[in-house]
Structure 1
């Protein structure tokens, strides 16, 4: 949307960062089987700008699971040039989330096969 663009027609980095956080939280919440909170952005690299008309895709994979934390790598790709489409990686990031309970306190991440144990 126009409010998300700079004067050159490129998407603001802050908008991209917010979407990366949402994308990374999804596998973290699934693995934690509940709420998570972002505790750190370990790395964030903008490789190319995202421009008006680009179709943007976010791919998130868990790279590490600790006692209470889950680290996720997110890669962002843009498809551009509708006449002869090309796909380019525009951003990559690694974020760490912590599993939290209903009161917002840290909790342990359940074992991966916890559902099978019940």
Structure 2
């Protein structure tokens, strides 16, 4: 849930705050699949569809769309629940990010296939 400290001068939540949350949510599945360290290597697409407001309950839904030799691409959809008295759920953002499995030295390593 975004807080007042996350607001931009327009009164909406900073896009950067939402991007950071998407990156964290998007990393969960690749880190499990890679069974270890990963790094974000690309934000392929990021679309802000609706503003996010203080008090919105924001939910992130991720799915893996591609697994390469060392990389994993994830699609993330973000929804906000607002106005509890007359509940509305709106899609606020969708994004595509690519992560790479890395070893202890930060070098790419193969994604396990078993």
How far the C-alpha of 1:10 sits from its partner, in A, is 1.1
Name segments (4+ residues, structure 1) moved above 2 Å: none
- Displacement of 1:8 in angstroms is 3.3
Q: Residues 43-97 of structure 1, C-alpha deviation per residue, up to 9 Å, x if partnerless?
A: 0000000011110001111000000000000000000111110100000000000
Equivalent-residue separation in structure 2 for 1:2 and 1:87 (angstroms): 21
The answer on 1:12 being equivalent to 2:35 is no
- What's the C-alpha RMSD, in Å, of the aligned pairs? 0.8
User: After superposition, where does 1:67-86 map in structure 2 within 5 Å?
Assistant: 67-86=69-88
Deviation of 1:3 after TM superposition, in Å, equals: 2.2
Unaligned runs of 5+ in 1: none
TM-score normalised over the length of structure 1: 0.92
- TM-score, length basis structure 2: 0.95
CA distance in 2, matches of 1:60, 1:26: 9
User: What is the count of residue pairs matched by the alignment?
Assistant: 112
